[in-house]
Structure 1
Amino acid sequence: MGVIEIEAQGSARRHGGRYIYEALRRQILTLQLKPGAQLDEVSLATQFKLSRSPVRDALARLISEGLVSILPNRTLLVTPFEIEAFPDYIAALDLTQRAVTRLAALNHTEQDLQRIRQANGAYVEALGKGSFEAMSELNKAFHLEIARAGHNPYFTRYYEKLLGEGQRLLHLQFDFIVSSQGLSSAEQDHDGIIDAIANRQADLAERASHEHTMLFRDRFLEFMKQNLTQGVSIR
């Protein structure tokens, strides 16, 4: 396993498992920890200068989100990208995204709509600053606000897991999106979805969310065709 360059701070002791979880999650999503990298409780506890218990708690949370996998021999590793499974991932994302967006159009309150607009505003602001990590987190937050507006917690929980998996794919292609299309095109991706939800046009909202998923799919496939992952381990 590669050395995880995290400076142990006093806050690590104060926040324990939450600090470790947030630090590891950030490194996984931004690909500082590569897909397939092994993780070891003892080494992590030493690096964070904490006991193994909070490390175990953090890893358990990452496993529940699908970002860390545990093999039959109990080896822990950053969940690899399974390129062969990409069509299955897109199918699951598409169906779930269409469902939560449709429900949001039918069930949202004015407070829900306000939160959706605020989340998108924060995302657009991050676009203007070119902050990839913030863009990834705020894009996820925007879509989760839509899911919450549908008022079905079962869909929301599953959707959150799918979005988390998609964040690593976004980080792979951020440079490609910016160089080939510019940030301004990404800013417009959400507008049609928001308008359809606000007008309670369920069919239109579902169609707009489907087109959004297909755009994500097409961008990723084009990135793969042109860049061949640029040395990132994808299994």
Structure 2
Amino acid sequence: MTKKHEKEEGTGRRHGGRYIYEELRRQILTLQLKHGEQLDEISLATTFGLSRSPVRDAMARLVSEGLVTILPNRTAIVTPFEIEEFPNYITALDLVQRAVTRLAALHRNDEDMANIEAANDAYMEMVYKGDFSAMTERNKEFHLAIAAAARNGYLAKYYDKLLSEGQRIQHLQFDFMTRQDAPSKLGRDHDELIAAIKSGDADLADARAHEHTMLFQNRFLTFMQRNLLKDMALNF
């Protein structure tokens, strides 16, 4: 094999791996692939028409994001979401979201604010279109724009992982959310966060971030109590 062919093959594997990653990630976040569902490397390679190498690369990336779990017997599964772990998830999200938003208020510049507001405009566009899959992606991008303004890569990396898990939770309750809240109400969730960051008031930004987390928690618990756990007591 010539060096040119080796280079082309390597490039194809990278592009193939990226496509597999993006497609599996989309299916996991939109619940097409269910929590706990097994992911077979050979079957996936056949499905995507590629070798096992790009599949393995894609799976490794999904594992690093917490969306796929490798069991002791080496079986790969979609990481389960345990309802009992929801309080711990909310605690982690609240702490990181508050820290990121507080730091953004202290360190943001005009370019950061333009990026945050543009990301929110993109989110609002998907809200009014009713494109929920794109809406959760744009929502994540909005929060990561805030994280970029915070100037802390460690927090941003962990925040990214928490937001991805939040996308799966949002997809569980999509129909319920759209019945409960008009698009205009869903879209206003970010306004106070943006205003607090723009003001440079770190304490206010912290408080608004906490309120935002509690709104997310309360929507999910209301959904669970009314739809899935009518006979189960939830203590959060």
- TM-score normalised per structure 1: 0.91
Q: Distance in 1 between matches of 2:167 and 2:25?
A: 11
Q: CA deviation at 1:133?
A: 0.6
Match of 2:25 in 1: 25
Deviations 1:26-82 (A, max 9, x none): 000000001010001000001111000000000000000000001111110001111
Matches within 5 A, 1:33-182: 33-182=33-182
Paired amino acid for 2:209: S
Q: Distance in 1 between matches of 2:58 and 2:221?
A: 32
Match of 1:5 in 2: none
C-alpha contact 1:177 1:183 (8 A) present in aligned 2:
no
Secondary structure at the aligned position of 2:77 is classed as: strand
Q: CA deviation at 1:181?
A: 1.8
Q: CA deviation at 1:15?
A: 2.0
Q: Which runs of 5+ in 2 are unaligned?
A: 1-11, 230-236
Q: CA deviation at 1:14?
A: 7.9
Q: Which runs of 5+ in 1 are unaligned?
A: 1-11, 230-235
Q: CA deviation at 1:185?
A: 1.2
- TM-score normalised per structure 2: 0.91
Task: Name segments (4+ residues, structure 1) moved above 6 Å.
Answer: none
RMSD of Structure 2 on Structure 1 (CA):
1.4
Q: Distance in 2 between matches of 1:88 and 1:108?
A: 29
Match of 1:217 in 2: 217
| Fraction of identical pairs, as percent | 65
Q: Distance in 2 between matches of 1:188 and 1:212?
A: 11
Secondary structure at the aligned position of 2:28 is classed as: helix
Secondary structure at the aligned position of 1:99 is classed as: helix
Secondary structure at the aligned position of 1:213 is classed as: helix
Q: How many residues align?
A: 219
Q: CA deviation at 1:13?
A: 7.0
